[in-house]
Amino acid sequence: MNITDQDRVFMREAIRLANDSVRRGGGPFGAVVVKDGEIIAGSANSVTLDNDPTAHAEVNAIRAACQRLGTFDLTGCTVYTSCEPCPMCLGAIYWAHIDRIYYGNNRKDARDIDFADDFIYDELDKPLDERTLPIIPLLRDEALESFRLWTGKTDKTAY
């Protein structure tokens, strides 16, 4: 993969957002979403500022990019993030259909400052009945009704 000067510019913006976040009392993470050589959206981690455990930089940037572009599909976009995405952010990136991820710090760097996501990766490899967090099936037959409704819906927007 050939890294360009423009890639470095976008990554430096993600890093700047992370640094500014720390100065404002947020977490040390920043991300930008780029399409066609333009930053569509950028954001920092605001978990503690917003009292929202899902307010990671990548998720915030994805939400802002979707709002700006008026779509939930970010095909053709790239994410530049100051740190390798956690499992939640990685899932959001896949769901958004983003084409590529560039990251600065890696998982080990994050773990070294007490942002450890390895336990989540480990949990996902375990069978449901062996996970730390109980995951208990309940009322599946009733819950299937919404899936039947979805399947029969002729005007649905697939995603």
3-state secondary structure 55-73: CCHHHHHHHHHHHHHCCCC
Determine the Cα–Cα distance for residues 78 and 58; give it in Å rounded to an integer: 11
- With a CB cutoff of 8 Å and minimum separation 6, the contacts of 61 are 31, 32, 33, 41, 42, 43, 79
Determine the Cα–Cα distance for residues 100 and 135; give it in Å rounded to an integer: 32
pLDDT tens sequence for the chain (159 residues): 799 999 999 999 999 999 999 999 999 999 999 999 999 999 999 999 999 999 999 999 999 999 999 999 999 999 999 999 999 999 999 999 999 999 999 999 999 999 989 899 999 999 999 999 999 999 999 999 999 999 999 999 988
Determine the Cα–Cα distance for residues 4 and 6; give it in Å rounded to an integer: 5
Say what the pTM is.
Answer: 0.93
Q: Is 13 a catalytic residue?
A: no
Q: What pLDDT score was predicted for residue 1?
A: 78
Q: What pLDDT score was predicted for residue 55?
A: 97
Q: What pLDDT score was predicted for residue 158?
A: 84
Which residue is catalytic, options 58, 123, 130, 142? 58
Q: What pLDDT score was predicted for residue 77?
A: 98
